[in-house]
Structure formats: structure tokens, C-alpha cells
Amino acid sequence: MSDSTAEPRTVRDKLALVLAGTLGLFILYTSFFGAFESLIQRAIFVTVIGVLGFVMFPLGAGKPWRTWGLALDVLLASSLIAACVYIIAHFDRIMTELPWAQPHEIALAAGAIVVVLELSRRVTGSLLFPAIVLLSLTYALFGHLIPGDFGHRGFDLAYLTEVVYLSDRGLWGLLVNVASTTLAAFVLFGAMLLHTGAGQTFFDLSARAGGKATGGAAKIATIASGLFGSINGSTVANVATTGNFTIPLMKRLRYPKSFAGAVEAVASTGGQLAPPIMGTAAFVMAELVNINYWQIALAAVLPAFLFYLSVLTTVHYVAKRKGLGRVDTEDLPDWRTALNWRRMAPILGAIVGLGLGIAQGRSIALTACYGMIGMMGTSITLQLLGGAGWRGAAGTLWRSLVDGGRGVVTVGVLLVAAQVFVGVLNLTGFGVAATSMILQSAGGQTFVVAVIMAVVCLIAGMGLPTSAAYVLVAAVFAPALIQQGLDPLVVHFFVLYYATLSVITPPVCVGVFVAAAIAQSPWAKVAGEAVRLAATVYVLPMLFLIYPGMLAQGGLEDVAMAAITGVVFCLSVASLLAGRPALGQGGYSAAVWLLPAGLALLPDWSATLAALGIYVVLELGTRALQRRQALSAGP
């Protein structure tokens, strides 16, 4: 997130401050008192994020043609405002009469779509995503010219306008509703957490938990990035935030630059999959699957644990093999500092607020609001008791609102564009045709369908934020697995994991690019290390299909089998990837770890217990032989 503590120096900075604060207030107000009428809520939200987007991402900033860029930005922003105001003024007619599109409405719709495409280009820094959305619109208009299963009867501009602009299926659809309510509320919640001291608390606790262990600096990076990532929901933002502390620390302790960058990139990626807040895509999933968000958070617990278990274990074994040192005790915060009650109190206040909302069965947005009230109420009270005065306390709240408003812009713009894509694909039936093609090419084999889906997710997500990648793939390809008889929640988690992993998958791996820049290492080396560190996680979603208990589906026995299997698989593969010789022998003996890992893939209690038994024997034997070798080597 942007630094709201910096003093605004230009008119643009001041305008961004006002607009972001206004958006934060809008989110807080509608979270507590409830959203406005659906189209009004969404149109107001799109208006504010759109105008703020032009202010935050201006055209030609700092270049000679800035005047022309400003004029174009004003024109585009005015076009978006006009389109949104028209919807607000006519929302009742739109929702009750299903109006025929008139020429001026076609013009307003065209202007709004151009603005959304341009903003999505600016926030992603790439033409890829807007090009995909534009291609879907072109497909809707000219589908009658396409032969075969992917052709359709085609739709004229008037009808397309009615779907995309004069209904709640296009620009104002389900994803925009998610962005303007639950998602926005939790982005604001995360901003408040950071401004009330949680950020430093998370880093201090991570330092105490992992710093004194083997590979301590890498473990600090892993734990801290997981904690931060569960709040901000963005791999790139997470790498940029925590990486500026953890990567230099690892380099100072003589960790290889590529390894330092890879650890940060992988750990930051997992933050989007870690409850309780997770990333923005999880809120979208709740709406697409039509289940309560807290069920998704519960389902995410075991996979997130296995994700970080595999990363921490691989880091540990690599650190032992390479002799990567611990962090000196004098460089670590003491427990008294890490658990400072003034910094912990707002976090506890937030937990109490969230718990109250859940216990009362409140909506997700209102539950988040309760958490914000508990957090900010505690923080402001402590500041007043500490002599900060009302001005200082109000400043904390205002900075939180501003950073929360800014944080919503990127994901909000992308979800508006993604909603256009989803609405058009539903209209044309492209998803049905794609599903049929995949099932035919896979011969109805679930595993083959899953592999195709995984590859598609990784490719489709390259260069895109996770939420956008998830929506694109889920809308088009998820039905192929669901038609194989799999639970929709399992399928959507499968898609989410691979869409998330795309940010560290070469060649277009934006999370790796940022980490490599901080580490000052070639991105290809960082990407190679990252793929190795995350190799277990690339297989993890396949386990969702084999073991429903991985996602808290089924009974206690199913969950127990999934947990044992997952732990054995992750630990065995971590040993294999780190080149850890089994039973202390050299050469290719590390391949022995494939035995328990392979048995763990068989969904049967006998195979699960055999995998566990073999792993325990290998682990105990390896440790015993290593101790003997260390003693025989002498001091």
C-alpha cells in the first residue's frame, strides 16, 4: 500500500488523499449500516475507484506530454462519471423494466468499458488483461462468423449494451458487488491492522520464532511474509513490503542472493492462501461457490499449514546443507518487545470484534466492521491514555482510511473488468464449449482433466494478479472438473492454488521479478530456486482431488487421513528436494524419500500408515547416522 504518512506536495497528491479517504469512509459506512441498493452501491464504488485510479496512475506522469495526459485523464474520468451517474439516476427502471438500449446508452456503455480497460492496463502495467476482456467482447459481437462448437449466433451492440451496462450481469455484476462490500471491508481491516502496530508485531514475533534456528533469516522471511500476506492479499505488495527487510538480512548473513529472493517470493505467495483473511480471490470464491466465507477460511487451514510446513522444512534442510547461519541474539527483539501489550491490544480488540460478529451471525462485511471498531477503539483509547491527544488518534484512523481506500483501487478495477469478461462468456456459452472440449480431449479421465486445468491456470495467471487470474480460469474451465463429479469447493480451491502459483512460475513471474530486483540477482536464478522451494505446493492441489478431507470435507476420519498424508508427503518431498541423503548415505540415496511420498498419494488407510511408518524409520535412522558421523568426525 501507498505510504499515507507522506505529506502531500502536489494537487494530485492532495486529490488522491481526499478521494482515498472518502472511499475508506464509504467502505466503513456501508459495512456498518449496510450497502445501498445494488446498482447504486456498485456505481458509486466504480465511480470513486475509477477517478482515484486516474489520480494514482496518471498518464504520462513526469513526462513532457503531461498536459495532454491530464486532459485525456479528465476526459476519461468524466466519461466514467457520466456512465455511473446515469445508472444511479435510472436504477429503478433498469431493475424493473429491462430497457432496450438507446444510442446514448450505447455511447455511455462504450465510454465506461474503454475506461475500465485503460485502468486495468495501468494498474497491471500490461496489455494482457485488457486484451483478454476486449477479445471476449469482440467474440460476443462476431461469434456468428466462427465455425464449429465455439461459434454462436452473435449479438448486436444494443443487446450487448443491455447485458454489460443496463443490467446487473456486466459492469455492475456479482464480482463488483464482492469488491464493493466484503472485499473492500477486509482490505480496510488490513490497513487498520498495519497502522495500529500489527506490522511491527508480526515481524518481531517472526524474528523470535525463527531467528535463532538453522537458516533463521530465511525462516523469519517465511513466517513474516505469511502473516503479512494474509492481510494484504497481494504477492507483489507482500514481497515489496517484507522483502525490503528480510532479503537484505539474508544477504548480510551470506545467504546466496537467488535463494534469499526465492524464499521471500514463495513465502509471500502463500500469504494469499493463509486464513483468516487470505487474499482477495477467496472473497470472490465465496460468491461463486455460494458458501459462507468462513467455511472457505476453515477449508484453507490444512492446505495453508502444509504450504508453510513444506517451505520451512525445505529451507531448514537446505540451510543445514549449505551451512546458512542463524541470526545473532543481539539482532533479535526480546519477547517483551515482541509481545508489547500496547501493540497487542488492538490485535486482540480486532479478534474480539470478529468473534462477536461471527457469533451473532452477521454478514461478512459487518463482521469485518466489528473487528475494525474493536481494533480502532482499543488503539484510540490507548493513544489518548498515553497522551497522544485526539489529533494523534484521529490521524491514525485517517491514515488507515486512506491506505485502505488506495488498496481497494487495484483489485476493484480488475474485478470490474473481470466481471465484463464473465458476463460476456456466460452470454455466449463459451464456457460450455470449452468444458466440452476439455472433457473430450481428456477422454473423461479426471486426472488428465486436472493436469490440463493446472497448466491452463499457470499459463492464464502469468502477468495477472491472482484475483483476475482466478476469475478468468474459474469462469471458463472450472465446470470441466465439476462435471467429473467433484465438489465445487474442491475445484475452486484447485483453481485458486494454481492461479496463485502463477506469480512465481516462469517465464512471467511478477513476484519473482520484484524479489530479484531487491536481491540484486538475475530473475531466472531466483525463479529456479523459487520453483524448487515450492515444488511440493505445485502437487498439493492434486491432493485436494484425492483427499476431500484436505479441505475439511467429510468426517473427522477423512480429515485425519488427509492431515497425516499431507504431512508425510510434504516432509518427504522436502527431504528429497533439499538433497538430504536417506539413512546418512551419499549419492542417489535421497531418492529413497520418494517411497513414503508415493505411498502418501494412495487414498487408503493402509497406504497412509505404511507411508507414515516408512518416513519415521527413515527419519530416525538418518538422524542417528548423522549424529554418529558427527561424533566420529570429531571437533
Check residue 610 and give its pLDDT. Answer: 94
Check residue 141 and give its pLDDT. Answer: 92
Segment 518-529, tens digit of pLDDT = 888 888 899 999
Angle between helices 430-441 and 466-482 (to 10 degrees): 60
Segment 329-372, tens digit of pLDDT = 777 777 777 777 788 888 899 889 988 988 888 888 898 899 99
The answer to whether the CB of 152 falls within 8 A of the CB of 424 is no
At which residue does the C-alpha cell 520451512 appear? Answer: 312
Tell me the mean pLDDT in the region 131-135: 90
Which is more confidently placed, 6 or 366? 366
Check residue 8 and give its pLDDT. Answer: 65
Among the ranges given (5-9, 258-262, 442-446), the one the predictor scored with the smallest mean pLDDT: 5-9
| Cβ atoms within 10 Å, residue 244 | 11
Which is more confidently placed, 461 or 26? 26
Q: Given pLDDT bands bounded at 50, 70 and 90, which one contains residue 204?
A: confident
| Cβ atoms within 10 Å, residue 394 | 13
Tell me the mean pLDDT in the region 493-503: 89
Taking the C-alpha atoms of residue 308 and residue 296, their distance in angstroms, rounded to an integer, is 18
Q: Given pLDDT bands bounded at 50, 70 and 90, which one contains residue 306?
A: very high
Q: Given pLDDT bands bounded at 50, 70 and 90, which one contains residue 223?
A: confident
Among the ranges given (54-68, 95-109, 359-373), the one the predictor scored with the smallest mean pLDDT: 54-68
Q: Is the pLDDT of residue 53 over 50?
A: yes
Q: Is the pLDDT of residue 160 over 90?
A: yes
Mean pLDDT of the chain: 85
The answer to whether the CB of 229 falls within 8 A of the CB of 265 is no
Tell me the mean pLDDT in the region 612-621: 89
The answer to whether the CB of 357 falls within 8 A of the CB of 211 is no
Tell me the mean pLDDT in the region 568-584: 82
Q: Is the pLDDT of residue 373 over 90?
A: yes
Tell me the mean pLDDT in the region 45-73: 83
Tell me the mean pLDDT in the region 306-329: 84
Segment 399-436, tens digit of pLDDT = 999 999 998 898 889 889 888 988 888 888 887 787 78
Q: Given pLDDT bands bounded at 50, 70 and 90, which one contains residue 517?
A: confident
